[in-house]
């Protein structure tokens, strides 16, 4: 295990009864970068995050965060000292006021930065004397961010950070994430908002039913993923398109659509050699890739 990786897991697994929440998950994340962690509801994103943070214990496999083992309570403490986490519910102590919560949280971190705290308090215009339970979800998210960022964590993990926020707050949040990543914090966030992920992330991980189905940099994806649509005078032979890099072939009538993760040129070449009357090559959006990645296993679910 190298120390360059901010997060790395090896065959990480979590079982609840006979349900495989996470299965043989292996990935590495280098910092500082922004990684989007994608998957459908119940795909195992939260379980993975909670294992990384030592809240739940892996059934098998191992993982390291910032060079510390995730399954050792003592090392988990070291991880948590330099990692911030904002959960989906943004659950904070409802009975405390904003000021009390900030004081409370700051007492745990010797590297707390009062200057950042003050700036963020002013920027977010958080009402110091208001109780947390009286804050809107947007305000709560900002408060959670303030608590996370006022100590410059090495790693910031967010679970569905934009969930329930209005568009303005979402934009602010995304901008904040890019800003702190540029300051050296590695950002790892789960989201269903693919358009957001596509904008800010360096790379993405897609998991489906606990298994990693895609681990790719978005630059690579933009450069290499293509959808080739070819029209033929007669019904085209689908099998001819089973080339390396082809993820999916779909024929409808005389048209054939190929989703390729690389090698688009060869596919175009093949279409031409099969005397295609029209060939169109288009970039593929993250949305399509995501849907394709999680749909591949769809029949298994029906079983």
Partner 1 sequence: MPVLFQGLRYPPVAPPKLHRWWLCGTNRARQGRCVGCRLDKPKSTTVSYQWYSSVIFKLNPSSGQPLYLQLMQQVRHAVATGVLQDGDLMPGIRTLAEELVVSHNTVAKAYTELEHEGLLELRHGSGAYISAKRGVKSRADRVRAAQQRVRELVNSLQAEGLSNEEIFRLFEAEVLFPHDLPPRL
Partner 2 sequence: MLWYKTWRENELRFLISALVLSGICTAAVLFERMFRAQLHATSAPLSSYAGYIYLRIYGGFARGTFLVLALVLGLGGLQRERAHGSTGFTLMLPVSRGRLTGVRAAVGLAEILALSLLPVILVPGLSPFVGESYPLSQSLQFSLLWVSFGSVVFAAAFLSSVIFTSEYSALAVSLAVFFIYPLVARLPPLRPYPLHIHYIMNGTGMAYFDPRTDLLVGPLPWTVLAGAVAITAALVAYAAVLTERQDF
Give the strand pairing for 34-38 and 186-190. parallel
91 dihedral zone (left: phi>0; alpha: psi -120 to 50; beta):
beta
CB 92 to partner 2: min, Å: 6
Answer yes or no whether residue 282 interacts with partner 1 by CB under 8 A.
Answer: yes
Pairing of strands 155-159, 83-86: parallel
Please, what is the minimum distance in Å from the beta carbon of residue 4 to partner 1?
A: 15
Task: Report d(CA 17, CA 251) in Å as an integer.
Answer: 41
Q: Is 4 in the site for partner 1 (CB under 8 A)?
A: no
Under the criterion CB under 8 A, does residue 116 sit at the interface with partner 1? yes
The entry of partner 2, partner 1, none that residue 80 binds, CB within 5 to 8 Å by partner kind: partner 2
Residue 283 binding partner 1, by CB under 8 A: yes
Asked if 22 touches partner 2 (CB under 8 A), the answer is no
Interaction mask 200-219, partner 1, x per CB under 8 A:
xxx---------------xx
Interaction between residue 287 and partner 2 (CB under 8 A): no
Both structure tokens of 244: 């390396």
The DSSP annotation for 209-259 comes to TTEEEEEEEHHHHHHH-EEEEEE-SS---GGGG--TTEEEEEEETTEEEEE
Residue nearer to partner 1 on the CB measure, 47 or 186: 186
Closer by beta carbon to partner 1, 10 or else 119: 119
Residue list 27-66, contact with partner 1 (CB under 8 A):
32-34
Give counts: helices (H), strands (E), the chain: 11, 14
Q: How far is CA 262 from CA 222, 227, 267, 283, in A?
A: 10, 10, 9, 11
Please work out, in degrees rounded to the nearest 5, the angle formed at the alpha carbon of residue 51 by the alpha carbons of 61 and 151.
130
Q: Which residue has the tokens 């990543």?
A: 181
Restricted to residues 83-122, the positions that interact with partner 2 (CB under 8 A) are 83-85, 87, 89, 91-96, 100, 103-105, 107-109
| Binding piece for partner 1, criterion CB under 8 A, among 8-16, 37-45, 80-88, 281-289 | 281-289
Least Cα distance to 43 among 257, 238, 256, 190 occurs for: 190
Residues at the interface with partner 2 (CB under 8 A): 50, 53-57, 73-74, 77, 80-81, 83-85, 87, 89, 91-96, 100, 103-105, 107-109, 144
Residues at the interface with partner 1 (CB under 8 A): 32-34, 113, 115-116, 119-120, 122-125, 149, 168, 171-172, 174-176, 178-183, 195, 198-202, 218-219, 222-223, 225-226, 282-286
């Amino acid at each position: 295990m190298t120390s360059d990786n901010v997060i790395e897991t090896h065959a990480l697994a979590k079982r609840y009864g006979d349900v495989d929440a996470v299965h043989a998950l292996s990935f590495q994340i280098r910092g500082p970068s922004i990684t989007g962690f994608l998957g459908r509801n119940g795909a195992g994103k939260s379980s993975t995050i909670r294992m990384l943070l030592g809240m739940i214990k892996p059934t098998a496999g191992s993982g390291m965060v910032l060079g510390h083992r995730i399954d050792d309570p003592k090392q988990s403490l070291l991880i948590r000292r330099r990692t911030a986490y904002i959960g989906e519910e943004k659950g904070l102590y409802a009975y405390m006021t904003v000021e009390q919560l900030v004081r409370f949280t700051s007492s745990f971190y010797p590297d707390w930065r009062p200057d950042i705290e003050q700036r963020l308090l002013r920027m977010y215009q958080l009402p110091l004397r208001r109780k947390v339970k009286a804050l809107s979800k947007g305000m709560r998210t900002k408060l959670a961010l303030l608590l996370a960022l006022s100590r410059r964590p090495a790693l910031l993990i967010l679970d569905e950070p934009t969930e329930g926020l209005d568009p303005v707050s979402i934009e602010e949040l995304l901008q904040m994430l890019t800003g702190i990543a540029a300051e050296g914090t590695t950002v790892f966030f789960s989201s269903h908002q693919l358009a957001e992920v596509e904008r800010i992330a360096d790379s993405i991980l897609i998991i489906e039913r606990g298994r990693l189905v895609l681990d790719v940099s978005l630059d690579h994806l933009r450069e290499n993923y293509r959808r080739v649509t070819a029209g033929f005078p007669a019904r085209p032979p689908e099998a001819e398109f089973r080339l390396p890099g082809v993820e999916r072939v779909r024929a409808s009538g005389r048209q054939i659509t190929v989703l390729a993760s690389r090698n688009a040129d060869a596919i175009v070449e093949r279409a031409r050699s099969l005397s295609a009357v029209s060939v169109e090559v288009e970039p593929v959006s993250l949305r399509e890739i995501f849907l394709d990645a999680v749909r591949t296993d769809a029949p298994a679910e029906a079983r």
